[in-house]
Amino acid sequence: MATVSVPTILRTHTDGEKSVEAKGSTVAEVIADLESRHAGISGRLLNDGKLHRFVNIYVDDEDIRFSGGLEAPVKENSTFTILPAVAGGATILHPTVAGG
């Protein structure tokens, strides 16, 4: 089975587990197996059968968007990493220098 690294935001679906195992020879099959074991997780990864644009999945450190998408192959001993995109940042305000 592939070892799936679960980000903090999705651990409510895996009873707090950081890592779980899942079966499948493609990314789609692994996600389906994850859903059968951890209800609701696929809804956080997929939208209308496609990968959410703010979710990145890596199989053995390869971004699936460049290796076949949901049909990308997954080996028995693959590492499967889910990374949600993180938005944010800060505006740094510089104090006005008072001149005299």
Kindly report, residue by residue over 77-88, the tens digit of the pLDDT. Answer: 999 999 998 765
Kindly report, residue by residue over 32-67, the tens digit of the pLDDT. Answer: 999 999 999 999 999 999 999 999 999 999 999 999
What is the set of domains in the chain, with CATH numbers?
Answer: 2-84 (3.10.20.30)
Q: Return the half-sphere exposure (C-beta side, CA atoms, 13 A cut-off) of residue 12.
A: 4
Please give the Cα distance from 69 to 96 (Å, whole number): 50
Query: What is the reported pTM?
Result: 0.83
Cβ proximity of 27 and 45 under 8 Å: no
CA-CA-CA-CA torsion sign (66, 67, 68, 69): negative
Query: What is the number of other CB atoms lying within 10 angstroms of the CB of residue 13?
Result: 20
**Residue 77 tokens, joined:** 């001993």
